[in-house]
């Protein structure tokens, strides 16, 4: 069982992702990148699932901050913008391990977590 930090300001997505992942993993939730950094330091999760678009600190800045100091954490980024290859490439350059487009099939999300957890 991995500890997953789920970072998004969208409460519907948080609830859905928690529902999909909580049977196999411990879930910690943050509403933006700034709170995500605070909770990362407190809980030391093995996996982060983060939104691209958030207030206070967006997904790009959040991932770049983590990669500057925490190289071993696995990061899955999600966004409706990832249908555009430029946004996906930008997030991968920032340090995400995997990018998924929203809306996401629940099985795809579970598989993405399994993939980064076992890699």
Each residue's pLDDT tens digit, 44-73: 999 999 998 889 989 999 999 999 987 789
Q: What are phi and psi of 89, to 5 degrees?
A: -60, -40
Instruction: Using DSSP, state whether 19 is helix, strand or coil.
Output: helix
Q: What is the pLDDT of residue 84?
A: 61
Q: Where are the domains of the chain?
A: 1-47+58-72
pTM score, whole prediction: 0.93
Low-confidence ranges of the chain (pLDDT < 50): none
Q: Which CATH architecture has domain 1-47+58-72?
A: 3-Layer(aba) Sandwich (3.40)
């Amino acid at each position: 069982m991995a500890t997953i930090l789920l970072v998004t300001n969208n409460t519907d997505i948080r609830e859905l992702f928690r529902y999909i992942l909580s049977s196999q993993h411990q879930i910690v939730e943050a509403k933006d990148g700034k709170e995500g950094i605070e909770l990362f330091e407190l809980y030391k999760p093995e996996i982060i699932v983060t939104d691209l678009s958030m207030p206070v600190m967006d997904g790009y800045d959040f991932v770049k901050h983590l990669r500057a100091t925490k190289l071993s954490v696995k990061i899955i980024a999600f966004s409706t913008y990832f249908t555009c290859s430029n946004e996906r490439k930008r997030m991968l350059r920032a340090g995400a391990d995997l990018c998924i487009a929203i809306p996401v099939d629940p099985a795809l999300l579970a598989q993405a977590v399994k993939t980064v957890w076992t890699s």
